Amino acid sequence: MAVQQVFPLSCAVQHYAWGKMGSNSEVARLLASSDPQARISEDKPYAELWMGSHPRGDAKILDNRISQKTLGQWISENQDCLGSKVKDTFNGKLPFLFKVLSVETALSIQAHPNKELAEKLHLQAPQHYPDANHKPEMAIALTSFQGLCGFRPVEEIVTFLTKVPELRFLIGDNATAQLKGSTSSDSQVAASALQSCFSHLMKSEKNVVVEQLSLLVKRISQQAAAGNNMEDICGELLLQLHQQYPGDIGCFAIYFLNLLTLKPGEAMFLEANVPHAYLKGDCVECMACSDNTVRAGLTPKFIDVPTLCEMLSYIPSKDRLFLPTRSQEDPYLSVYDPPVPDFTVMKMEVPGSITEYKVLAVDSASILLVVQGRVTASSPTAQTPIPLQRGGVLFIGANESVSLKLTVPEDLLLFRACCLL
Ligand SMILES: [Zn+2]
Helices 187-202, 173-181: inter-axial angle, 10-degree rounding: 160
CA pair distance 379, 263, nearest whole angstrom: 34
| Binding-site residue positions for Zn(2+) | 110, 112, 137, 276
Q: State in Å: Cα 270 to ligand 1 middle.
A: 7
Which residue(s) pair with 6 in the sheet? 396
Among residues 295, 320, 374, 416, which one is catalytic? 295
Same fold, 9-102+324-418 and 105-311: no
What are the boundaries of each domain within the chain? 9-102+324-418, 105-311
Q: Which residues of 58-69 are buried (b: 16+ CB within 10 A; e: fewer)?
A: bbebbbeeeeee
Q: State in Å: Cα 293 to ligand 1 middle.
A: 7
Q: State in Å: Cα 139 to ligand 1 middle.
A: 10
Name the pTM for this structure: 0.96
- The model's pLDDT over 96-112, given as tens digits with 9 standing for 90+, comes to 999 999 999 999 999 99
Alpha helices in 296-363 (DSSP H): 305-311
Fold of 9-102+324-418: Jelly Rolls (2.60.120)
Instruction: Calculate the alpha carbon distances from 358 to 189, 216, 317, 369 in Å.
Output: 52, 55, 39, 15
CA pair distance 392, 8, nearest whole angstrom: 7
CATH architecture classification, 105-311: Orthogonal Bundle (1.10)
pLDDT for residue 183: 84
pLDDT for residue 1: 62
CA pair distance 143, 274, nearest whole angstrom: 23
Cα-Cα end-to-end distance for the chain: 29
| Cα-to-chain-centroid distance, residue 417 | 13
Three-state SS for 165? helix
Q: Tell me whether residue 39 is one of the annotated catalytic residues.
A: no
| Binding-site residue positions | 110, 112, 137, 276
CB atoms within 10 A of CB 78: 16
Which residue(s) pair with 394 in the sheet? 8, 368
pLDDT for residue 132: 87
CA pair distance 59, 342, nearest whole angstrom: 19
What are the backbone angles phi and psi of residue 8, rounded to the nearest 5°?
Answer: -80, 155
pLDDT for residue 31: 97
Q: State in Å: Cα 103 to ligand 1 middle.
A: 13
pLDDT for residue 289: 87
Write out the H or E segment, with its range, that includes residue 201: helix 187-202
Strands (E), 180-320: 257-262, 267-270, 276-288, 294-297
Strands (E), 273-411: 276-288, 294-297, 325-326, 333-336, 344-350, 356-359, 366-372, 374-378, 386-389, 393-396, 402-406
pLDDT for residue 252: 97
Q: Which residues of 245-256 are buried (b: 16+ CB within 10 A; e: fewer)?
A: beebbbbbbbbb
Q: State in Å: Cα 129 to ligand 1 middle.
A: 14
Contacts of 75 (CB under 8 A, 6+ apart): 53, 81, 82, 92, 93, 94, 365
| Cα-to-chain-centroid distance, residue 304 | 21
Q: State in Å: Cα 353 to ligand 1 middle.
A: 38
Over its length of 421 residues, how does the chain's per-residue pLDDT go in tens digits?
A: 678 999 999 999 999 999 999 999 999 999 999 998 999 999 999 999 999 999 999 999 999 999 999 999 999 999 999 999 999 999 999 999 999 999 999 999 999 999 999 999 999 999 999 888 899 999 999 999 999 999 999 999 999 999 999 999 999 999 999 999 998 878 899 999 999 999 999 999 999 999 999 999 999 999 999 999 999 999 999 999 999 999 999 999 999 999 999 999 999 999 999 999 999 999 999 999 887 899 998 888 899 999 999 999 999 999 999 999 999 999 999 999 999 999 999 999 999 999 999 999 999 999 999 999 999 999 999 889 999 999 999 999 999 999 999 999 999 999 999 999 9
CA pair distance 327, 395, nearest whole angstrom: 22
Q: State in Å: Cα 273 to ligand 1 middle.
A: 10
Write out the H or E segment, with its range, that includes residue 13: strand 12-14
